[in-house]
Each structure stands twice: as C-alpha cells, then as structure tokens.
Homo-oligomer: A and B are copies of this chain.
C-alpha cells in the first residue's frame, strides 16, 4: 500500500508548519489565520487526498469516538435490531460502533471486552452472559464507561437499561385470566440469566395474584442446548396432562419460534383450545392463522437510552443510572376467544 499523505507532507508542500495545517484542517483558531494560507492548505489537502490518521489523533487526544457493543449473537433479530438502533444514533453523535457476539459465553465475552478496551473504545454497551459478573465488576473498577442492556447483575451498581421483565409476564398472565383461561403453562429456558428468572417470577406471581393455584407441571424449563426437541416435548407434555393447559406463555423469542413451529403441526386449535403468548416480535407471529399475542420490548427506546447514558458517562464522568422499561402486550387473536 502506498504511504498515505500526512500533515507533514502538506506542511512541506505549502511551506508552513504542521501545527498550522492541523489548525486549519480542524477549524481551530478561525479568523486568526490568514485567509490565503488557510486556502492554500485546504487546496493542498484536497489535492493530495489527505485523510487524517485517526489513530494518531486518538493517541494524542485519548478519544477514539468508538463504542464497543457486545451482544449475544448479531444474527439474532433482537441483537441486530438493537445494534441497528445504536449504530444509527451513535453515527449521529459522531461515534462508530464495533460489535461482537459473545454467544452467551463468558470467556468469549472477556476476550471481546479486552480487545475493545485495548483498542481504547471510549465506552461499551454490553448484553452480558450469565456468569460475567466478575468481568463486569472489573470494568467497573477500572472506571471504564459502560452500560448493560437487557440483563444486569442486581449486586453490581452500575449503568443498565432493562426490560421490566417481571411485569411483562405478570401482565400477560393477567390478560389470559381475564380472557377466561385457567390452566396456564410456561415454556422457557433453564438458565440463570436474571431477565429469564424475572419473567418466571412474573408468571408465578401473576397466577397467584389472580387466584390461580400453580401446578408444578405447568412450568417447563428446557435445556438451551437441545432446545427444539426439548420445547416440543415440553409442549407435548403440557397438552397431555390430566388436566391439560389451555394457555401457554413462551419465555423468549427463540422458545416462541420453536414452540410455534411445533404447535403449527398439531391438531390443537388456537385460541379455542390453546391460547399462546409469545415473546418479542417476529414476522412468523403475523403469519400464524391466529396472529399471536406477544410481549413487545421497546427496542428503539432501549437502544437510545443505552447510548444516551453511555455518552453522558463518557462526557461527564462516572454515572450510575438504572432504567427499567415497560413491555407492551400486543393483544391479537391467539389469546382472544
């Protein structure tokens, strides 16, 4: 690759100091530099196709205008939707986003955090794996600006924005009971993530508050690693109980999709014999013969909030801000008889 042109090259050609070139190209000291010289410098920069070396600039200014974003998997629609919101807003503010996928693996996430911090990212937005509390605590102690999204660790006081997961399922149960459903099951992952635990808690409390006795067979926690099969079995069992369930709640988007695929092939009638509440939004849910009622996360607002907190942290020093956002229950045919 050809050597790129530097400030020095321009300075040399025009016959001024690099300082001067830097000033005019950055519009510093405006009015205090003669118009002719400024003009010459700009012309030469254009002629030589000058591109400021952002790396050198960053080394000096200690700012990279880079934000690291660690999601679970960029090819998952929740992650990529969030990423897109963050990317757009970051660009407006002059930042570039680097994203990486942690695969819910805390070792990988530790590697990614290292890489991002070593690259001097100005701040991080992280959707942390379940067992990442140590690394998050480490980041916190190092004083590196970051905000957690979607999940957080109740023990670590730091910036985060999360869904009100508890209420999301609580409200869903309330709605189902209101529609006359009485035996309400839930299929979710067997996993320690705080957000999943909260959804489970919302489900259980929802039953209780609404005067329904929870039957322990109603809650099915499926192994993440064998999910399609596990979800199918869970649903099959829920429908084969002595008193089968008449409604089912899915704990996240992937469980919803797998579950729906299976139910699609069953003779059961939705919503007459079985009501369904899904999590997150997917085209699939519109497509089902009884369009699905689903719990909608405010992706857009979550992304914007995350970046706004992060930039505040970056620009104004240590902050500790926690934001909980409400889900919207989008009610459609799958839960209304």
Whole-angstrom distance between the Cβ of A71 and the nearest chain B Cβ: 10
A321 at the interface (CB under 8 A from B): no
Asked if residues B84 and A74 are in contact (CB atoms below 8 Å), the reply is: yes
The stretch of A9-17, A46-54, A185-193, A229-237 in contact with B is: A46-54
The stretch of A26-34, A113-121, A163-171, A243-251 in contact with B is: A113-121
A84-107 interface with B by 8 A CB criterion: 84, 87-88, 91, 96-101
* Bound CA span A99–B97, Å: 7
Asked if residues B64 and A74 are in contact (CB atoms below 8 Å), the reply is: no
Interface size class of A (residues with CB under 8 A): 35 or more
* Bound CA span A91–B101, Å: 11
A123-175 interface with B by 8 A CB criterion: 142-145
Asked if residues A1 and B55 are in contact (CB atoms below 8 Å), the reply is: no
> For residue A118, which residues in chain B have a CB less than 8 angstroms away from its CB?
51-54
The stretch of A37-45, A197-205, A269-277, A283-291 in contact with B is: A283-291
| CB-based nearest B residue for A123 | B1
* Bound CA span A261–B285, Å: 12
Whether A81 contacts B75 in the complex (CB less than 8 A), given A54-B119, A58-B55, A143-B2, comes out as: yes
> For residue A117, which residues in chain B have a CB less than 8 angstroms away from its CB?
51
Whole-angstrom distance between the Cβ of A150 and the nearest chain B Cβ: 16
| CB-based nearest B residue for A108 | B91
Asked if residues B286 and A287 are in contact (CB atoms below 8 Å), the reply is: no
A56 at the interface (CB under 8 A from B): yes
> For residue A52, which residues in chain B have a CB less than 8 angstroms away from its CB?
118
| CB-based nearest B residue for A81 | B75
A55 touches which one: B64, B88, B99, B257 (CB < 8 A)? Answer: B64
* Bound CA span A59–B52, Å: 13
Asked if residues A119 and B77 are in contact (CB atoms below 8 Å), the reply is: no
* Bound CA span A96–B99, Å: 9
A83 at the interface (CB under 8 A from B): yes
A227 at the interface (CB under 8 A from B): no
| CB-based nearest B residue for A257 | B283
Whole-angstrom distance between the Cβ of A250 and the nearest chain B Cβ: 15
A319 at the interface (CB under 8 A from B): no
* Bound CA span A2–B145, Å: 11
Whole-angstrom distance between the Cβ of A222 and the nearest chain B Cβ: 19
**Which 7 A-B pairs give the minimum distances between C-beta atoms?**
A75-B84, A80-B80, A54-B118, A75-B80, A1-B143, A54-B119, A55-B120
The chain A residues found within 8 Å of chain B, CB to CB, are 1-2, 4, 49, 51-56, 58-59, 64, 66, 73-75, 77, 79-81, 83-84, 87-88, 91, 96-101, 114-120, 142-145, 257, 261, 264, 282-284, 286-288, 317
Since A53-B120, A54-B115, A74-B83 are in contact, a sample of 16 more A-B pairs with Cβ atoms closer than 8 Å, ordered by chain A residue number, is: A1-B143, A4-B142, A66-B119, A74-B74, A74-B80, A74-B87, A75-B77, A75-B81, A87-B100, A88-B101, A91-B100, A96-B100, A97-B98, A99-B99, A284-B284, A287-B287
